[in-house]
């Protein structure tokens, strides 16, 4: 039995590596129900006020930045890597079987164009392909930065402060900057002599005026790719927006000098943005356009007190449920990490053009966001007007569930073969044939689809991509468990006309696996009661 354990572990790891390449990343939204930015400076329910106030308004400045870029890169990249080798079909990387991305899929062509095959004395197309020697190394260092301002208004509705109904309205305004951090080092520029790049025509158009890219940096930001682009110019921009407006209605059961307990329910209005999949690691404001409904409970008990000093245990717990909506997501084929970029023929008709697969594997899908559960536990020490809080925050979310919003047409779209079994390049008027076994790192060593393997001569055919070949898991964000530890310091002036409180805090968010983004966060808050 023991000899089978390594084999089973290898299979499990292989499956994990296949699923590691995903097209969408979801980040917990700051300053929302039961988030640490909201909770701090609210644990004053047992404070001995000198003035009765029914209203409170606070402004929170918050921000943070991701850490662990290698782990984040593994989430997006194929084969569980952080660095990728890109190479043309004639490159040393392809011939030595260590290529990760076939650069020709991305319209990188620095050698002779296919049209030169007819002009050569030899009919061997590999006289052309062997000039496609471009090769480069791609290093990825993804990062996420955010900052914003959170506005919160609290109104007690009942006539007594120690119990009764209350209402809150919150609006976080955020700026986000995501970056794939791609850096390319060219090993071989490519060309007939391996170091002589040529301005060759694009794989995706018959026009001689449109040239292929000469490196992966320019190819991945090209407008030929309608989706899934990696463009440093876009990543440098900051995206701003309102990260969903929140309204909640609550009821305080009791609030005294030693304990308090309240419950609430509310709604998240989707004022943020939705994913468009135009870029990899897209900037999303809010909960991706989902309408949310949340509820929770807040309570605390004072465990020790002496004069003006006290120690209390506080807890905040809540859950959020979301309505489904329609989004645009890129989908990999099963068993083909980054297979969404492979060449396809949109149709088996003679007029069809060779096209980037990403333009057809990016579809409108219906997304179930997955519910969120959150729990915050903290110890709060109060000394006169000073309050210190040390807390732990637990966040979990179910995995997303994605399905096509519209039917997939199974009678067309196929992984493109660019030469037939007679080693002739397929031209505009030739019948389209497919190479369904092609992967993002293997094209030359797999055969075209055939009508029947036993037939002689072998007859190439067109095999369309079926909807059952779509790996929807590649477009979903998996379930996550995220922990945060934080420290908060508060000082208040409670005996003035408009009692005022200030708060400085910081924390670190972390979890296991590439689906969790570790990051540090800081926030500052000022609140006025009236």
Task: List the domain boundaries for the chain.
Answer: 2-82+141-180+230-413+464-529
Q: Is the dihedral of CA 448, 452, 453, 457 positive or negative?
A: negative
Cα–Cα distance, 141 to 157 (Å, whole number): 50
What is the per-residue pLDDT for 119?
A: 61
What is the per-residue pLDDT for 20?
A: 59
> Cβ distance 392 to 349 under 8 Å?
no
Any idea how long the chain is?
A: 530
Cα–Cα distance, 40 to 56 (Å, whole number): 14
The answer, as to whether pTM is greater than 0.95, is: no
Segment 122-144, tens digit of pLDDT:
568 888 999 999 999 999 999 99
What is the per-residue pLDDT for 13?
A: 36
Cα–Cα distance, 242 to 28 (Å, whole number): 15
> Cβ distance 507 to 485 under 8 Å?
yes
Fold of 2-82+141-180+230-413+464-529: Lipocalin (2.40.128)
What is the per-residue pLDDT for 428?
A: 77
- Enumerate residue ranges in the chain where pLDDT < 70: 1-20, 48-51, 118-123, 208, 350, 411, 453-457
Supply the mean pLDDT for the chain: 91
DSSP result, 344-356: EES-SSTT---EE
For residue 255, give Cα distances in angstroms to 264, 300, 350, 528: 15, 9, 76, 20
What is the per-residue pLDDT for 483?
A: 98
What is the per-residue pLDDT for 430?
A: 84
């Amino acid at each position: 039995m023991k000899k089978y354990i390594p084999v089973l572990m290898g299979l499990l790891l292989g499956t994990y590596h296949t699923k590691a390449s995903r097209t969408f990343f979801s980040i917990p939204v700051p300053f929302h129900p039961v988030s640490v930015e909201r909770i701090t400076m609210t644990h004053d329910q047992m404070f001995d006020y000198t003035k009765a106030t029914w209203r409170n308004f606070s402004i929170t400045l918050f921000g943070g930045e991701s850490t662990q870029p290698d782990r984040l890169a593994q989430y997006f990249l194929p084969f569980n890597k952080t660095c990728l080798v890109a190479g043309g079909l004639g490159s040393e990387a392809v011939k030595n079987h260590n290529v990760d991305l076939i650069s020709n899929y991305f319209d990188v062509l620095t050698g002779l164009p296919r049209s030169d095959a007819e002009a050569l004395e030899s009919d061997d197309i590999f006289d052309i392909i062997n000039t496609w020697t471009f090769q480069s190394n791609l290093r990825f260092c993804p990062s996420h930065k955010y900052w914003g301002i959170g506005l919160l208004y609290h109104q007690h509705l009942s006539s007594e402060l120690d119990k009764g109904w209350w209402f809150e309205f919150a609006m976080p305004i955020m700026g986000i900057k995501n970056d794939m951090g791609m850096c390319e080092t060219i090993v071989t520029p490519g060309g007939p002599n391996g170091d002589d790049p040529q301005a060759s025509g694009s794989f995706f158009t018959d026009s001689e005026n449109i040239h292929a890219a000469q490196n992966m940096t320019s190819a991945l930001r090209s407008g030929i790719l309608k989706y899934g682009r990696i463009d440093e110019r876009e990543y440098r921009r900051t995206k701003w927006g309102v990260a969903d407006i929140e309204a909640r209605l609550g009821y305080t059961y009791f609030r005294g000098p030693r304990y308090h307990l309240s419950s609430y329910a509310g709604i998240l209005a989707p004022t943020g943005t939705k994913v468009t999949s135009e870029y990899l690691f897209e900037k999303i404001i809010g909960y991706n356009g989902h309408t949310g409904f949340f509820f929770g409970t807040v309570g605390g008990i004072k465990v020790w007190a002496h004069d003006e000093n006290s120690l209390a245990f506080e807890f905040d717990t809540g859950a959020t449920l979301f309505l489904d909506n329609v989004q645009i997501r890129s989908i990999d084929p099963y068993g083909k990490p980054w297979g969404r970029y492979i060449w396809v023929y949109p149709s088996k008709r003679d007029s069809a053009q060779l096209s980037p697969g990403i333009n057809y594997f990016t579809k409108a899908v219906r997304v179930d966001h997955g519910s969120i559960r959150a729990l915050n536990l903290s110890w709060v020490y109060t000394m006169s007007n000073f309050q210190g809080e040390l807390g732990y925050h637990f966040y979990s979310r179910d995995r997303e569930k994605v399905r096509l919003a519209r039917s997939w047409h199974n009678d067309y779209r196929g992984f493109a073969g660019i030469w037939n079994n007679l080693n002739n390049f397929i031209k505009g008027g030739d019948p389209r044939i497919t190479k369904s076994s092609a992967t993002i790192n293997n094209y030359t060593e797999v055969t075209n689809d055939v009508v029947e393997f036993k037939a002689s001569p072998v007859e190439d055919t067109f095999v369309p991509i079926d909807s059952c070949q779509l790996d929807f898991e590649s477009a979903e964000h998996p379930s996550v468990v995220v922990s945060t530890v934080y420290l908060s310091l508060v000082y208040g002036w409670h005996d003035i006309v408009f009692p005022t409180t200030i708060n400085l805090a910081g924390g670190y968010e972390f979890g296991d696996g590439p689906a969790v983004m570790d990051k540090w966060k800081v926030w500052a808050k000022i609140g006025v009661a009236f």
